[in-house]
Structure 1
Amino acid sequence: MSDVVDFNQQVIAEFRANGGKVGGPFEGAPMILVHHRGRKSGVERVNPLVSLPLEHGWAIFASKAGAPTNPDWYHNLMASPRTTVEVGGDVVEVAVREAHGEERERIWARQKELNPGFADYEKKAGGRVIPVVVLEPAG
């Protein structure tokens, strides 16, 4: 697990140093830093995630690279659906909600079209429906 934490810390540092741009496996992908508080630990955490810009906010995807379970950040956001995100050089307060039905399908299809790796995650997930989380500016 510490390898994942170290990798995330490197991506976060690169994101912040370059106004939201990162290279490596995320080169050219729209990235967002999502802040969340551990629902059990209370510890504040930050996760770098590929996002999909929406008309009023962003979508993120609880793919966990196709694992059979949802990532911890998803559970944390659902437990406390107001947080902040870093987009480019800006910090934005957001309201968090999960997309369902037609909205989810539309956003998910667009994400797979733009980033085919997400279709691979869907296959690997073994029937788990990957949650689509919408982040909308609060206020």
Structure 2
Amino acid sequence: EIFCFAYLDDIIIFSATPEEHDKHVTLVLEALEKAELHLKPSKCVWSVPEIEFLGFTAVAGKGIRMSDDKLQALREWKRPTNVREVRMFLGTINFCSKMMPHFADNAAPLNSLTKKGKVFEWNEECERSWSRMM
């Protein structure tokens, strides 16, 4: 059963019910203690219905979505005009690819623009790919 995610010094614990959450928090705290790792109380946030974590917002009972500021930044992204800009866009949007159905298929035309020796040509297929991901 997966109920937490850790990235560097950040840990998020997610549970379906308050009772389950208490159990999960206890398990994580025990694991940290066993590993002789310590929490800084001033950096801890406990039992909240919504929290920002690594560019995502976790909402109790609803799941995870991309943070509003990340969504806004993507909405404002200018259409790429060269290979470097396509790579920057794909690298950024890959951050949320798990939340985008058929990401690999949708990104394929843009990925093809980044192949070595390929001439940059933004065509209708690239435009459709761009539109689907935006």
Q: Please give the range of the TM-score, normalised by the shorter of the 2 chains.
A: under 0.3
The TM-score, its normalising length taken from structure 2, stands at: 0.25
RCO greater where, 1 or 2, for CA within 8 Å and sep 6 or more?
A: 1
| Structure with the higher fraction of residues in strand conformation | 1
The TM-score, its normalising length taken from structure 1, stands at: 0.24
| Structure with the higher fraction of residues in helix conformation | 2
Greater Cα radius of gyration, structure 1 or 2: 2
